[in-house]
Amino acid sequence: MIEMQNLWYAYPSGQTVLAGLNISIKRGEFVALIGQNGAGKTTFLKQLNGLLKPTSGVVKIAGMDTSRVKTAKLAQKVGFLFQNPDHQIFLPSVRQEIAFGPKNLGLPDEEVEARILQAAEAVGLTAVLDENPVFLSKGQRQRVAFASLLSMRPEILVLDEPTTGQDYRESIEIMEMVRELNEAGHTIIFVTHDMELVARYARRIILLRQGRVVVDGPVREVFYRPELLTATGLLPPQIVRLALMFGENSPLGRVLSVEEAYEAIVGWGGVAHDRCG
């Protein structure tokens, strides 16, 4: 679905941001892109829909070379959620805001209407469809922005820190929505600083540092190599750190969540109990 071959990117000022990336992401993957501020995460994301073009190397999205195709065209395949929803909201109602993308795609009115309703329902905005988004809360504005992408039905969703500025419950709600979309077949690539969210939702981690890939692999494997994370100033989730203290051979093993740890402990207790009996 996404192919990066020896991707280099430098700003016009000459500063290199991405240095020789070779990454392949298949349909239906759920990828977390992590790294410190300035590691090149946002620049990486902007390569995915042609907002930035490679200085050298190739980025292919569903077979389309991003340096040859316009962003407006790539937008049909790749939906991009920006950190700040206020950069895009400009219409006087939530309904119109959600309709902007599909209309740009030149879809017929009935189709646009159907997509508005579906997208609004997916993010829980049906009740405020006719309100002015400017007067909604920040969390709701983020959902408006999200719905305006969903209505374009892109196969790939690119989310730049989708949970910043949201409280815990809102964050979980947004990520649950993303999970459902992933289960429905969408490819997800998201940036976050919240390792608990990564452990809970993502299946693959790409860790960037100064424009290079430090490690690229399944979440469980990456989190259980803490030396890679600490080198870039990140810490694995608390439950992973706890499990690491007990070592690989403890009954906790390589758990990723509190639920898994609970299962492991209960299972182990059961075994011990049996042994006693």
Chain contacts with other proteins (rule: CB under 8 A): 13, 46, 49, 51, 70-72, 75-76, 78-80, 82, 84, 86-91, 100-101, 104-105, 134, 148-149, 152
How far apart CA 57 and CA 242 sit, in angstroms, is 42
Q: Do the Cβ atoms of 49 and 75 come closer than 8 Å?
A: yes
CB of 80 to other proteins, least distance (A): 4
Q: Which is nearer to other proteins, 135 or 168 (CB)?
A: 135
CB of 100 to other proteins, least distance (A): 6
Q: Do the Cβ atoms of 190 and 178 come closer than 8 Å?
A: yes
Q: Which is nearer to other proteins, 51 or 62 (CB)?
A: 51
How far apart CA 133 and CA 120 sit, in angstroms, is 13
Q: Which is nearer to other proteins, 156 or 229 (CB)?
A: 156
CB of 46 to other proteins, least distance (A): 7
Q: Which is nearer to other proteins, 67 or 76 (CB)?
A: 76
CB of 232 to other proteins, least distance (A): 26
CB of 58 to other proteins, least distance (A): 21
CB of 146 to other proteins, least distance (A): 12
